[in-house]
Structure 1
Amino acid sequence: MKCIALTFDDGPGPYTGKLLDLLRRHRTKVTFFLMGERVATSPSVVRRMARDGHEIGDHTYDHPHLPSLPDDDIRDQLTRTQDVIRKVTGREPGLMRPPYGDTDERVSGIAAELGLSQIVWNGTSRDWELRDTAAITKKVLGLAKRDRVVLMHDIWPQTVKAMPKILTTLEKKGYHVVPVTSLLRGRSLAAGEIYPVGGWN
């Protein structure tokens, strides 16, 4: 099966509800990497994400560069986010995505200690830079490749507006849009492990 994972960082945001409506219509599941402070202010959206069967990961509490922080602050960023997601959804994530994809051995060690695998990406929509629906659509469709992990952001309205055409075109090309762990085809990630290997394109 030809699978691709679309992953959304920095939410939930004002447009996340519209994205969830669209994903439901397409019977499609994705992965959301959520910021703790935004989970705390939009719990109903996060509950809906979980109810709809989307994969939810930890994207720190307020998006710092983790390698620049002392160990205790890295732990605090991750555990506060774990706690608020658990309070809202009843489940604690097993995945985290370091902001900006910035990680190192120290971050990996703390992630492992907390039972978190690290998810990066091997294709980026550059939606934070493009801020244009047609350009984002073209960029994401140009990245389409089996087992690709694509970085997107549901906080930008242009990204959410690009999604109908992206999903329809990927479906026509025979792709199944899946949560990132579905790309592992049954393999479990180790705590602290970084996936995909050789990411950040």
Structure 2
Amino acid sequence: MALAAGCAGDAANGQRQAAPARQEAALKKQPARPAGPPAARRLDCARLRCVAITFDDGPGEHTGQLLDRLKESGARATFFMLGQNVRGNEQLVRRMAYEGHELANHTWSHPNLTGMSSGAVRSEVRRTQRAIQQASGVEPKVFRPPYGATDAQVGRAVGMPQIMWSVDSQDWLHHNVARNVSAGVKSPKPGGVVLFHDIHHETVNAAPKILAGLRERGFTLVTVSELFQTRTLKPGSRYTNLW
């Protein structure tokens, strides 16, 4: 009996010693998490048929699904985010950065900036800069004024390049998947900036066909900063497309 008990004890000890080894082997098989955002791509959009797809007003409940679809397509986009929506969605914001998308500033609460003091404009921008940087480790380089409403005073207060758009999909108005696909595929021209909103599920549902359709037209899908990397963008100035 003593011999049997000893053998059982040895077996148990062996199992306990083997457990850490199995756990270590399992950890080695898991894919390594990225250390940070990928390196910037060097693209010559003066030669390539580039287009920048942008999404405003998020992150929201549909943003994660949109990120899945962008990842499946291998496309990169630019997210003009509201600072108040970053709170509670920090993991989504971090994922955007780590998957190569551009994080951009769209104010804290989406006001019409032209009716505000310079100090109030700066507060909207700076609070959003901090929120995005704290969530992702990335400081936005570009800005989009809500409603596209801006003037010289706003530009000076913002102190960042203001990125407008050459194509407004009007997804915010029509909420129609087929119309979003048509606008997103047929309207863009090389060097263009296309406006969508990731807070609308119709836009997210249209995304796969939009991305595929643009690729069929020979477009390279880039971020805003990739689109303009051959140009020096001036703080406060407005830009609607590469040309």
TM-score band, normalised by shorter chain: over 0.9
Aligned residue number for residue 205 of structure 2: 161
Residue equivalent to 1:178: 222
- How many equivalent residue pairs? 196
Letter in 1 for 2:138: R
Paired residue secondary structure (1:56): strand
Q: What is the aligned partner in structure 1 of residue 55 from structure 2?
A: 8
Supply the AA of the counterpart residue of 1:151: L
Give 1 or 2 for the bigger CA radius of gyration: 2
Aligned residue number for residue 20 of structure 1:
67
Runs of 4 or more, structure 1, over 3 Å off, are none
Among 129, 135, 143, which residue is 1:96 paired with? 143
1:117-196 pair list within 5 angstroms: 117-196=161-240
**2:210 alignment partner AA:** I
1:103 aligned counterpart, secondary structure: coil
Unaligned stretches of 5+ residues in structure 1:
none
Cα distance in 2 between the residues matched to 1:102 and 1:108? 10
TM-score, length basis structure 1: 0.94
Q: TM-score, normalised by structure 2?
A: 0.78
What is the match of residue 38 of structure 1?
Answer: 85
CA RMSD of aligned residues (A): 1.5
Give the drift of 1:185: 4.1
The CA distance in 2 between the partners of 1:51 and 1:185, in whole Å, is 20
SS in 1 for 2:103: strand
What is aligned with 2:10? none
Amino acid at match of 1:104: D
What is the Cα deviation at residue 186 of structure 1?
2.3
Structure number having the greater strand percentage: 1
Amino acid at match of 2:180: I
What secondary structure is seen at the aligned counterpart in 1 of 2:87?
A: helix
C-alpha deviation, 1:123, in angstroms = 0.8
The letter of the residue matching 1:18 is Q
Question: Does the aligned pair in 1 maintain the 2:192–2:241 contact within 8 Å?
Answer: no
Listed as ranges, the matches of 1:74-93 within 5 Å are 74-93=121-140
* Corresponding residue to 2:99 among 35, 45, 52: 52
Distance 1:50 1:188 in 2: 23
For 2:132 and 2:112, the matched residues in 1 are separated by 21
Percent identity of paired positions between Structure 1 and Structure 2: 41
Q: Which residue number corresponds to residue 115 of structure 2?
A: 68
Conservation of the 8 A alpha-carbon contact between 2:58 and 2:80: yes
Structure 2: gaps of 5 or more residues: 1-47
